[in-house]
Structure 1
Amino acid sequence: MKTYLQAFDLWEIVNVGIEPPMLRPNPTLAQMRQHNEECAKKTQGDVLPTKQCFRHDLYKNHGL
């Protein structure tokens, strides 16, 4: 569930209970992309080990 919420940049809101930083009114597309990338950078480090563990378990348990 943590990885799912991180994918949508919602994990910090649920975990810490803080409101996400707000964008200025009428942000440009570049500002919205930058904001999403900054939020994703925070969680990107946790997602990779989760994928690796899942892959390891899949190969180990199913002989793939």
Structure 2
Amino acid sequence: MYEMQIGEAAAGSGPVWHVVARDHRATLCGRPLQPGGNAETDRHCAPCMTAFQYVMQQASTE
């Protein structure tokens, strides 16, 4: 299962939503989780979203 958590963008341009697998301590793009991410944003991490799309496509072909 996956969830969304707010963290710093890889480029350091402010907060974005990252995709995180519940059993991992890092985002799908490889950034470590930062506790206490309570900023508001409507931006999403493009590398996380690309990785999530790939994971979902692989799951649907199995």
**Higher RCO (C-alpha 8 Å, min separation 6):** 1
Name whichever structure is richer in helix by fraction. 1
Structure 2-normalised TM-score?
0.38
Structure 1-normalised TM-score?
0.37
Name whichever structure is richer in strand by fraction. 2
